[in-house]
Amino acid sequence: MRGTSGREGQQAPAKRVQFSSPFLPYLFLAPQLAIILVFFYWPSVQAVQSSFYLEDPFGFGSTFVGLTNYTDVLKSTEYLGIARFTAVFTALVTFFALATGLLLAVKADGVIRGNAADKTLLIWVYAIAPPVAGLIGMMFFNQHIGPMVELARWFGWDIKVGLDYSDTAFAMIVVSVWKQIPYNFIFFLSGLQGIPVSVREAATLDCRSELRRFWTVTLPLLAPTAFFLLIINTTYALFDTFGVIDVMVKDKAANNPITLVYKVYMDGFRGSDLGGSSAQSVILMLVVLVLTVFQFRFIERRVHYN
Amino acid sequence: MHRTRIIDHVILLIGAFIMVTPVVVAFMTSTHDAADIHRNGLSLTWGGHFAETYETVLTREGGFTGKVTGFNMMMNSMILGLGFAVGKIVLSMLAAYAIVYFRFPLATFFFWVIFTTLLLPLEVRILPSYEVMNALKLTNTYTGLIVPLLASATGTFYFRQFFKSVPDELLEAARIDGAGPFKFFIDVLVPLSRTMMAAIFIIMFVYGWNQYLWPTLMTTDEGFFTLVRGIKQILLVWVGSNIPDYNEAFALAILAMLPPVMIVVIFQRWFIKGLTESDK
């Protein structure tokens, strides 16, 4: 959801006619603004502030420590390991979710053009919450009853989710990708169906090979959709997979792969390391900011060239 | 040409199979009894224990306090989903109305104040958000569960886009007829926005129902647990039991996905519209 509507950053060109009233617009804005101030700006400022402080473990106030929390976090090998895993995890989830979504959309576009009922089977998983997907995943990778374990054994792979680091990572990636495919499918399909028939026909005449036509005509036309989805999938893999991971590692994070968001949660709520957790929050905020700025820069370009 | 068509169909079938099977298996398995699942693994066939299992899951009082039922959690999920969706629509329609239809000096400033919330998802500020809720004594309340999730601009932007596409002539005509801001909003804009409201309602309901991290932090009292939040508890209870209640776990998973899945399937057209069109 996040960011989906944020593709346009410019201020609204005013309507030709508008009401003017000294207080009404403020009245209408008040509820939204109040909630945003209390539940967005206040905590955000707090996060930045407490990232510069060291909380006394016994609750006797806190001392200003400058950038120590940040240097501690960035020097910790554990944190860097988790950052590395998060990067790999995000890249793999994003790649496979996008690729599968695109493949299915291209095939569906050829086969079920315009038929809504057939799409249902491919999109309904969108409505399943990540932790619920994680629960089903856990069952499929369960040592006693899981069919995926049997399937892996068939190929001579003794898969141990929850015990073996890379096996758990594998299961997490599979579940996270599965959950995200419908979203990408919907957007790619609507992007494909937005390509005018005249363009399709011209492309068919010019280029016999279906595969080449895909690479030279369809994919460039889908580029805006793909780029938008790239950002959305990256934020999905970074943040929304929390539920999948939390269910799959079941509080035994020690030997299991976790992502940066999970680490923020663990340090903040389990370890009560307020300063360290806040510093990590701020680092994540910067990552999201970079992603968002990147997204807007791209959209600006797109607006210019279209 | 003919051959590629068959391949296309096969790929789609495999895709549909991968998307559907896990859930079908989860449902079918939930109708077997626990010992049966433990012996024979997951199942694709009907087990015949549907009524017992789902009744147990919905009505048995469990949890640490021994007072929480699945039905209870389902109600909480419903409150969160509906409260979030309705709250989102009301807040964002009002705010978008002010931004699009009024001329006032601080319009640009407020636009950016609201817009900035799109930059930082709740997940990156969970701990400070929790502290704020603690300070306001809102943990373990429905207000604390719902209201902080409303602090983002997504809905406002959907409606802003939509209002901008409404023809100016409507407002001109309404003003000639002597309609004030309230009358115009209620008699013209709200009826015009019906489809848009339905589309956003669906997306927001699913989003609210499926929340996990925030409810996990906000609710420690099991009376406020949602189904999705309760999932991990279910898994944790297994540790140490001889024959885990796989059937009940699956049944709860099915219940937790049922309402959002139903809504997406039934209102598919609006759902896709809300998801894709709102960001063009």
Q: What digits encode the pLDDT tens for the residues B35-46? A: 888 888 888 888
Res B260: pLDDT? 95
Q: Which two tokens stand for residue B250?
A: 């699956």
Q: Considering only alpha carbons, which residue of chain A is nearest residue B131?
A: A43
Helix (H) or strand (E) holding A119: helix A116-123
Q: Which two tokens stand for residue B187?
A: 């008699």
Are the CB atoms for A112 and A251 separated by under 8 Å?
no
What average pLDDT does the segment A95-113 reach?
Answer: 87
| In a domain? residue B201 | yes
Domain count along chain B: 1
Res B273: pLDDT? 80
Res A301: pLDDT? 60
Residues of B in contact with A235 (CB under 8 A): 121
Res B66: pLDDT? 64
| In a domain? residue B235 | yes
Res B145: pLDDT? 92
Q: Considering only alpha carbons, which residue of chain B is nearest residue A121?
A: B16
The percent of residues in chain B predicted with pLDDT above 70, rounded, is: 91
B78 versus B40: the higher-pLDDT residue is B78
Q: Is B203 close to A277, i.e. CB distance below 8 A?
A: no
* CATH class of segment(s) A68-305: mainly alpha
Name the burial class of residue B105, with classes exposed (0-12), middle (13-18) and buried (19+) by CB atoms within 10 angstroms of its CB: exposed
Name the burial class of residue A254, with classes exposed (0-12), middle (13-18) and buried (19+) by CB atoms within 10 angstroms of its CB: exposed
What average pLDDT does the segment A252-263 reach?
Answer: 82
Domain harbouring B228, CATH code: 1.10.3720.10
| In a domain? residue B249 | yes
Residue A306 has pLDDT above 50, yes or no: no
Q: Considering only alpha carbons, which residue of chain A is nearest residue B181?
A: A19
The percent of residues in chain A predicted with pLDDT above 90, rounded, is: 30
| In a domain? residue B268 | yes
What average pLDDT does the segment B137-151 reach?
Answer: 92
CA distance A166 to chain B (A): 21
Whole-angstrom CA distances from B236 to A274, B232, B259 are: 26, 6, 25
What gap in Å lies between CA A34 and CA A41, rounded to an integer?
A: 10
List, for residues A259-297, the tens digit of each pLDDT value: 999 998 888 887 777 788 889 988 988 888 888 787 777
SS (H, E, C) chain B: CHHHHHHHHHHHHHHHHHHHHHHHHHHHHHCCCHHHHHHHCCCCCCCCCHHHHHHHHHHCCECCCCCECHHHHHHHHHHHHHHHHHHHHHHHHHHHHHHHHECCCCHHHHHHHHHHHHCCCHHHHHHHHHHHHHHCCCCCCHHHHHHHHHCCCHHHHHHHHHHHHCCHHHHHHHHHCCCCHHHHHHHHHHHHCHHHHHHHHHHHHHHHHCCCHHHHHHCCCHHHCCHHHHHHHHHHHHCCCCCCCHHHHHHHHHHHHHHHHHHHHHCHHHHHHHHHHHHC
Q: Is B161 close to A130, i.e. CB distance below 8 A?
A: no
Residue A216 has pLDDT above 90, yes or no: no
Highest mean pLDDT out of A141-155, B108-122, B248-262: B248-262
The percent of residues in chain B predicted with pLDDT above 90, rounded, is: 35
| In a domain? residue B60 | no
Confidence of residue B65 (pLDDT cuts 50, 70, 90): low
Residue A136 has pLDDT above 80, yes or no: yes
Helix (H) or strand (E) holding A62: strand A62-64
Nearest to B98 by CA among A19, A301, A131: A19
Res A149: pLDDT? 86
Res A305: pLDDT? 42
B95 versus A250: the higher-pLDDT residue is B95
List, for residues A77-95, the tens digit of each pLDDT value: 889 999 999 999 999 999 9
Residue A6 has pLDDT above 90, yes or no: no
Q: Considering only alpha carbons, which residue of chain A is nearest residue B259?
A: A127
- Residue B228 lies in domain: 73-279
Res A57: pLDDT? 61
Residue A12 has pLDDT above 50, yes or no: no
Confidence of residue A253 (pLDDT cuts 50, 70, 90): low
| In a domain? residue B88 | yes
Confidence of residue B95 (pLDDT cuts 50, 70, 90): very high
| In a domain? residue B4 | no
Residue type, B92: S
Q: Is A6 close to B42, i.e. CB distance below 8 A?
A: no
Residues of B in contact with A178 (CB under 8 A): 18-19, 22
Confidence of residue A11 (pLDDT cuts 50, 70, 90): very low
| In a domain? residue B19 | no
Q: Which one of A23, A28, A163, A244 makes the best mutation probe of the B interface by having the most chain B beta carbons within 10 Å?
A: A28
List, for residues A171-203, the tens digit of each pLDDT value: 999 999 999 999 999 999 988 888 888 888 888
What is the per-residue DSSP string for A128-187? Answer: S-HHHHHHHHHHHT-TTT-HHHHHHHHTT----TTTSHHHHHHHHHHHHHHHHHHHHHHH
Residue B237 has pLDDT above 50, yes or no: yes
